[in-house]
């Protein structure tokens, strides 16, 4: 008896100690404004995010280089049939981990999903994005997928920032800021370009930002660069910029136009292939078939294998011609003819290889392919000018500005391109040519193609509309129009129970929920009309026989703009259930929403007239 009493007392003490350990932490974060200013707290949080993201980026880079060193012969001068097999293996392994190891039926890839979540989901990102992109992109890229790791690490960083913000009880604006800190830290750690990381977050992700947001972004990006340099010494791009001459400016202007046109080609090619051949259902036969296409392209040009930084560095350090000469010796044409044809074909095939890599089920981004295309385009353009005898231009400078030009046009981020390439060059020697080519490419691209590679899908889907009414709806969540006085039903309730509920309410739609509050489906008056006047069926029919399970739902944190798009897409729907996770909270009726919308527009019109 004494032993039993001792165990009971000890268990109570342990519970009390755990409570003391947890409660102050919870209370501190919940009421932190009493102890520390919000701006100071955000700086500390941005450092925490940066440390975690830096470790993730280092792990990603190390895993890719480890797999490449084990499986891949780094001598790219020989055509080998493993270049046909490895991309398929990488794509299939990526699918296996996503589908079976992580158990994800749907897996969002690309920075478009992050832009969407910032604008319509209050920056909330599921926890599986903190690790799933690292594994899937490591397999895809290290085994030859023709994409880069910049988007996966940016998404991973964004997810880490978003989920940490949730744990720290931050509001929607601060959550978006920490999300951007994670993305900036990821880009900074990968490229070792802290300023470029900050500008990327501001230019691509945060469409509206205040001055105080700069400090956490700068600290997160700088911290990531420091940690990456301490624990991983490798540089993706290694070169030293050379001086430029004023007399070459006309050629930079012409080259900027060319970069803009190739950027348009890249955006439309990638979007067209991904929209038509996207393997949404994660089928392995489709993945293998599209992987064969990628492998076939790599067999034609081994330069398409992987991210392409190996080739970029060959071009930058002047050893690229050795590869071309080995091909020219096997051809009846002259060296320069083969050179120009092969470089042009390779840069035009890169968007195709990248698109099929992602659409098949692989995971990667467009940053590295853009730099690859830009480097080869600069080499191609400079070599033609030099061979023509009109003028002798510095090939290296055009390779460097070409990377900035294509990145600027494709990603719609000229400042990111300028500062990222300038930082990689170790100085601002080429700053003026970088500005000319980046700005010119951006202008030409937007003149023909108004959307970037990230926003094109969203805009065509009706999102990112900047009209005043949509801007108003974007700032309000579903919570503002949700109604919760809808009687709920259990799945095992009888029809008799349902009729009792119906007789005591004015509602004509009823949520079906489990005892733990999880939403299952709905029952409508239209479904009940057939049975409500048949008393002999009252005890035979259950709610599960009546309910509709496939229902359009909204999250409590969704914006009203997103809700409007749902009502527009499904005009036959008058009520949308509101959930938080899987837990039912209430309904939004179309009439209540439209009344709220009219009120908001009246208020906006009144403010404009004052």
532-578 residue pLDDT tens: 777 777 788 888 888 888 888 998 888 888 888 888 888 888 899 99
How many CB atoms lie under 10 A from the CB of residue 330? 7
For residue 79, pLDDT over 50 is answered with: no
pLDDT band at 279; cut points 50, 70, 90: low
Computed over its alpha carbons, how large is the radius of gyration of the chain? Answer: 28
Which residues are 148's β-sheet partners?
Answer: 365
For residue 182, pLDDT over 50 is answered with: yes
C-beta separation of 380 from 167 below 8 A: no
Q: What CA–CA distance (Å, rounded) separates 362 from 152?
A: 11
* 468-609: in CATH 3.10.580.10: yes
558-569 residue pLDDT tens: 888 888 888 888
pLDDT band at 185; cut points 50, 70, 90: very high
Q: What does the pLDDT read at residue 540?
A: 81
Same fold, 246-460 and 468-609: no
Q: What does the pLDDT read at residue 585?
A: 92
User: For domain 246-460, which CATH number applies: 1.10.3080.10, 1.20.58.340, 3.40.50.850, 3.40.1010.20?
Assistant: 1.10.3080.10
Q: What does the pLDDT read at residue 556?
A: 87
The values of phi and psi at residue 333, to 5°, are -95, 165
For 209, counting Cβ atoms within 10 Å of its Cβ (0-12 exposed, 13-18 middle, 19+ buried), the class is: middle
Q: What does the pLDDT read at residue 607?
A: 61
C-beta separation of 585 from 476 below 8 A: no
DSSP string, 502-513: HHT-S-SEEEEE
The values of phi and psi at residue 103, to 5°, are 65, 35
Q: Indicate the range of 38-42, 182-186, 311-315 predicted with least confidence.
A: 38-42
Q: What CA–CA distance (Å, rounded) separates 318 from 396?
A: 9
140-169 residue pLDDT tens: 998 889 999 999 999 999 999 999 998 888
Q: What does the pLDDT read at residue 356?
A: 94
Cβ within 8 Å of residue 518, ≥6 positions away:
582, 583, 584
Q: What does the pLDDT read at residue 404?
A: 94
pLDDT band at 20; cut points 50, 70, 90: very low
Q: What does the pLDDT read at residue 330?
A: 55
Cβ within 8 Å of residue 563, ≥6 positions away:
473, 478, 481, 554, 576, 588, 593
Which fold is adopted by the domain 34-231?
A: Clc chloride channel (1.10.3080)
Which residues are 587's β-sheet partners?
Answer: 483, 577
How many CB atoms lie under 10 A from the CB of residue 146? 31
- Judged by phi (left if over 0) then psi (alpha if -120 to 50, else beta), residue 318 lies in left
Q: What does the pLDDT read at residue 600?
A: 76
For residue 480, pLDDT over 80 is answered with: yes
**Average of per-residue pLDDT values in the chain:** 83
Entry pTM: 0.80
230-245 residue pLDDT tens: 887 666 777 777 788 8
329-374 residue pLDDT tens: 555 566 777 888 889 999 999 999 999 999 988 999 899 999 999 9
435-463 residue pLDDT tens: 999 999 999 999 999 888 888 888 877 77
Domain extent listing, the chain: 1-30, 34-231, 246-460, 468-609
Q: Indicate the range of 63-72, 114-123, 197-206, 511-520 predicted with least confidence.
A: 63-72
What tokens appear for 221 in the block? 């990006």
Q: What does the pLDDT read at residue 423?
A: 84
Range 88-114 average pLDDT: 87
Q: What does the pLDDT read at residue 372?
A: 95
Range 75-92 average pLDDT: 74
For residue 472, pLDDT over 70 is answered with: no
Q: Indicate the range of 75-89, 405-419, 450-464 predicted with least confidence.
A: 75-89
Q: What does the pLDDT read at residue 237?
A: 74
Q: What does the pLDDT read at residue 171?
A: 83
pLDDT band at 375; cut points 50, 70, 90: very high
pLDDT band at 15; cut points 50, 70, 90: very low
C-beta separation of 417 from 411 below 8 A: yes
Largest CA distance in the chain: 102
Nearest to 327 by CA among 349, 300, 309: 300
C-beta separation of 137 from 492 below 8 A: no
Helices (DSSP H) in 143-200: which residue ranges? 150-167, 172-191, 194-200
């Amino acid at each position: 008896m004494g032993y039993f009493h001792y165990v009971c007392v000890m268990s109570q003490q342990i519970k009390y100690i755990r409570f003391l350990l947890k409660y102050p932490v919870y209370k501190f974060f919940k009421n932190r404004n009493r102890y520390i200013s919000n701006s100071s707290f955000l700086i500390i949080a941005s450092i925490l995010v940066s440390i975690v993201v830096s470790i993730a980026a280092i792990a990603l880079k190390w895993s890719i280089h480890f797999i490449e060193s084990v499986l891949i012969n780094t001598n790219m001068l020989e055509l080998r049939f493993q270049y046909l097999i490895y991309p398929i293996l990488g794509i299939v392994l990526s699918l296996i981990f996503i589908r079976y190891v992580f158990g994800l039926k749907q897996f969002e890839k690309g920075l478009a999903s992050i832009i969407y979540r910032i604008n319509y989901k209050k920056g909330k990102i599921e926890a599986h994005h903190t690790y799933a992109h690292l594994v899937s992109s490591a397999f895809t890229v290290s085994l030859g997928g023709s994409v880069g790791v910049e988007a996966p690490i940016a998404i991973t960083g964004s997810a880490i920032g978003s989920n940490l913000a949730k744990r720290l009880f931050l509001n929607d604006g601060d959550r978006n800021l920490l999300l951007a800190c994670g993305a900036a830290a990821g880009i900074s750690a990968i490229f070792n370009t802290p300023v470029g990381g900050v500008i990327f977050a501001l230019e691509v992700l945060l469409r509206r930002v205040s001055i105080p947001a700069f400090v956490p972004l700068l600290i997160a990006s700088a911290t990531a660069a420091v940690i990456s340099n301490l624990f991983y010494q490798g540089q993706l791009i290694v070169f030293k910029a050379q001086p430029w001459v004023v007399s070459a400016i006309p050629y930079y202007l012409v080259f900027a136009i060319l970069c803009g046109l190739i950027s348009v080609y890249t955006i439309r090619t990638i979007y067209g292939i991904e929209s038509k051949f996207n393997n949404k259902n994660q089928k392995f036969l489709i993945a293998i078939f599209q992987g064969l296409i990628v492998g076939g392209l790599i067999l034609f040009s081994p330069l398409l294998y992987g991210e392409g930084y190996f080739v970029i560095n060959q071009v930058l350090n002047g050893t690229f011609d050795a590869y071309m000469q080995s091909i020219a010796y096997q051809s009846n044409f002259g060296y320069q003819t083969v050179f120009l044809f092969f470089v042009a074909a390779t840069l035009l095939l890169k968007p195709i290889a990248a698109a099929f890599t992602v659409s098949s089920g692989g995971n990667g981004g467009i940053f590295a392919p853009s730099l690859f295309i830009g480097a080869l385009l600069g080499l191609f353009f400079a070599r033609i000018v030099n061979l023509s005898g009109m003028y002798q231009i510095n090939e290296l400078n055009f390779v460097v500005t070409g990377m900035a030009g294509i990145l600027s046009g494709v990603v719609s981020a000229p400042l990111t391109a300028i500062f990222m390439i300038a930082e990689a060059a170790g100085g601002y020697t080429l700053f003026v040519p970088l500005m000319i080519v980046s700005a010119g490419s951006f202008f030409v691209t937007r003149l023909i193609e108004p959307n970037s590679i990230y926003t094109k899908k969203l805009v065509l889907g009706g999102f990112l509309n900047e009209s005043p009414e949509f801007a108003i709806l974007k700032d309000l969540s579903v919570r503002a129009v949700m109604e919760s006085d809808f009687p709920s039903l259990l799945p095992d309730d009888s029809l008799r129970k349902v009729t009792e509920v119906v007789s005591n309410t004015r509602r004509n739609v009823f949520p079906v929920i489990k005892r733990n509050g999880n939403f299952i489906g709905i029952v409508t008056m239209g479904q009940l009309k057939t049975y409500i006047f048949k008393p002999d069926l009252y005890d035979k029919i259950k709610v599960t026989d009546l309910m509709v399970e496939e229902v359009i739902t909204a999250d409590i944190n969704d914006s009203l703009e997103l809700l409007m798009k749902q009502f527009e897409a499904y005009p036959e729907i008058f009520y949308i259930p509101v959930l938080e996770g899987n837990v039912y909270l209430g309904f939004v009726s179309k009439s209540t929403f439209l009344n709220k919308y009219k009120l908001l527009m009246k208020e906006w019109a009144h403010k404009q007239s004052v």
